[in-house]
Amino acid sequence: MRRSALGWAFVTILFWSSAFVGIRVGLQAFSAGHVVLLRFLTASIVLLGGVLVTRGRLVPPRRAWGRVAVSGLTGFTIYHTALTLGERTVAASTASFIIAAAPLFSTILARILLKEAIRPWAWAGMAISFFGVAVMSGLGHEWHWDALLIVLAAVSTAVFFVAEKPLLAEFRVIDVTAWVTWAGTLPMLAFSGGFIHALAHAPWYPLLMVIYIGVFPAAGAYVTWSLALRDSAMGSIAPMMYLNPVLASVLGWIMLGERPGWPLVAGGILIVGGVWIIQAAAPFRGSPTLVSEGEGL
């Protein structure tokens, strides 16, 4: 795996970890539907600018429409709607613990659908990290029925990672990210009722936080994630998401007062250790994805 891919993945995880907190802040002033819609309208505008500035393709070729639609629906419409609805009652830290199951689903799907070979050390590292997630989520955290929505989000984002990767083999990262974001944002227009009124009366802090998670954890982070995914095997990058609970818990503690207990430390050590095993052992066989329409973004 290229070092650049690891760097892009780490930047992505930093942004995504902050999104769990941003959603909770946004829900203080907006409905879940309005948070999702504002966030991804913002991301869509930013990505439109990115495609125009880099002279990319605004419309995917017809042969890619099906995969773009699946990627948009699973990675954006379903994932972010389910996650935001779940966070109405589930703490940011707890939500991040549940989402941390996504790498396991992604790796299994990559093995089945993308034929990525996975060595025993990789499974060992994932098992250790997943056990760390279990420690963090199963001790000292209250379970909510809304957590089932976040489980749905974890499964849908795993499908998205696998569905998007072949697109990155043919097209530029910025173009693919824009297409799937727009495809996923269109169904969110169903939440537009009362949206303008909510914007006009929203306090400045929740408003700015939702715009922030649209610009950085959405538009920016999905570009950096796609760059990482393009240059590495799915199985070597997806486990980086195990770091989300650690970072999101720290941010939730600092910004929302969601004080973590000792499971954070124990689970965090296991998670980081498992990710280190996965990366240090270089367990995944497979070449980086090549882009046929030009390298770079």
Pick from 234, 219, 211: which is nearest to 173 by CA?
219
Please tell me whether residue 247 adopts helix, strand or coil conformation: helix
Q: Which helix (H) or strand (E) holds 285?
A: strand 284-285
The predicted pLDDT at position 294 comes to 43
248: phi then psi, degrees, rounded to nearest 5: -65, -35
The predicted pLDDT at position 102 comes to 67
202 — alpha (psi -120 to 50), left (phi > 0) or beta? beta
Both structure tokens of 286: 């497979």
Q: State the average pLDDT over residues 10-39.
A: 91
Q: In whole angstroms, what is the distance from residue 152 CA to residue 175 CA?
A: 27
Q: In whole angstroms, what is the distance from residue 229 CA to residue 223 CA?
A: 10
Q: How many CB atoms lie within 10 A of CB 196?
A: 9
Q: In whole angstroms, what is the distance from residue 152 CA to residue 82 CA?
A: 7
* Contact (CB, 8 A) for 246 and 264: yes
pLDDT band at 32 (very low <50, low <70, confident <90, very high): very high
pLDDT in tens, 161-219: 888 988 998 999 999 999 999 999 999 999 999 999 999 999 999 999 999 999 999 99
Q: In whole angstroms, what is the distance from residue 164 CA to residue 229 CA?
A: 9
Q: In whole angstroms, what is the distance from residue 163 CA to residue 165 CA?
A: 6
The predicted pLDDT at position 157 comes to 85
* DSSP type of residue 288: P
Residues 6+ apart with CB under 8 A from 96: 17, 20, 244, 245, 247, 248, 249
pLDDT in tens, 40-88: 999 999 999 999 999 999 999 999 999 999 999 999 999 999 989 988 8
Whole-number mean pLDDT of the chain?
80
Q: In whole angstroms, what is the distance from residue 267 CA to residue 280 CA?
A: 20
Pick from 210, 248, 228: which is nearest to 15 by CA?
248
Let me know how long the chain is. Answer: 297
pTM of the model: 0.76
Q: In whole angstroms, what is the distance from residue 5 CA to residue 39 CA?
A: 26
Pick from 130, 138, 139, 136: which is nearest to 264 by CA?
136
* Contact (CB, 8 A) for 278 and 125: yes
Q: In whole angstroms, what is the distance from residue 45 CA to residue 182 CA?
A: 9
Give the best-scoring range by mean pLDDT among 20-29, 185-194, 285-294. 185-194
pLDDT in tens, 225-282: 888 887 776 566 666 666 766 777 677 767 766 665 666 667 667 766 776 676 565 5
Q: What is the 3-state secondary structure (H, E, C) of 75-92?
A: HHHHHHHHHHHHCCCCCH
